[in-house]
Chains A and B, each alone.
Chain A
Amino acid sequence: GENVEQHPSTLSVQEGDSAVIKCTYSDSASNYFPWYKQELGKRPQLIIDIRSNVGEKKDQRIAVTLNKTAKHFSLHITETQPEDSAVYFCAATSTGFQKLVFGTGTRLLVSP
């Protein structure tokens, strides 16, 4: 079945720096790659997603890139702010279906 690996598990940056989180997936048929942000004790919130027919997508300070050949995708956050501190999860669709397989999460800490 599909496997999604996520790195790093923790990431500490200074306010204003950029942060990059990377994920690799195993199933070449995966066609949808969302990113979720989860604050402590809260529900995961979809922040950005990308489909397999697109190489890059941007929304203000957040961008996602997809490399289908290498089977990896990344989340880029620019000009980080303390409120960006949270756990971020990547996910990918499983073979031929609507299941999502999640990475193990990255705890991002943005220090003022």
Chain B
Amino acid sequence: DGGITQSPKYLFRKEGQNVTLSCEQNLNHDAMYWYRQDPGQGLRLIYYSQIVNDFQKGDIAEGYSVSREKKESFPLTVTSAQKNPTAFYLCASSAGLAVLEQFFGPGTRLTVL
């Protein structure tokens, strides 16, 4: 999991602003995922991508957008349409296809002021 990086570690945003969280991996993994974690809750899937230029909505995609232009990069944009964006955001990757183990990045803590 040391091959997955997220930046920044902490992010502060004013209401009404869009913000983009970075996720990069050098593991040559095909699949990448974005999760949101709130206190006392599990990890909820926002978006995932199995291959470049393709991605699918997860369980809580409203107010978020992603792109997958490169295999190693899967940025997440938190838009102003997301009503309660303050949370801990985790990116993960897996080798893809039948390889199911997911490895996580260190996370980005987003706070809306």
Interface residues of A, Cβ cutoff 8 Å to B? 1, 4, 6, 9, 32, 34, 36, 42-46, 49, 89, 93, 98-105
Contacts and interface: CB of A to CB of B under 8 A. Distances in A.
Q: Is the interface of A mostly helix, strand, loop or mixed?
A: strand
Interface residues of B, number: 25
Nearest to A1: B59
B90 A43 contact: yes
Interface string B86-100: 000010001011001
B52 interface: no
Given A98-B50, A99-B58, A43 B104 contact: yes
Interface in B33-59: 35, 40-45, 48, 50, 58-59
B104 A102 contact: no
A36 B90 CA distance: 13
A103 B37 CA distance: 12
Nearest to A105: B42
30 contacts: A1-B59, A4-B42, A6-B42, A9-B40, A32-B100, A34-B101, A36-B104, A42-B107, A43-B90, A45-B1, A46-B101, A46-B102, A46-B103, A49-B100, A89-B43, A93-B100, A98-B48, A98-B94, A98-B96, A98-B97, A99-B48, A99-B58, A100-B100, A101-B45, A102-B35, A102-B43, A104-B40, A104-B41, A104-B42, A105-B40
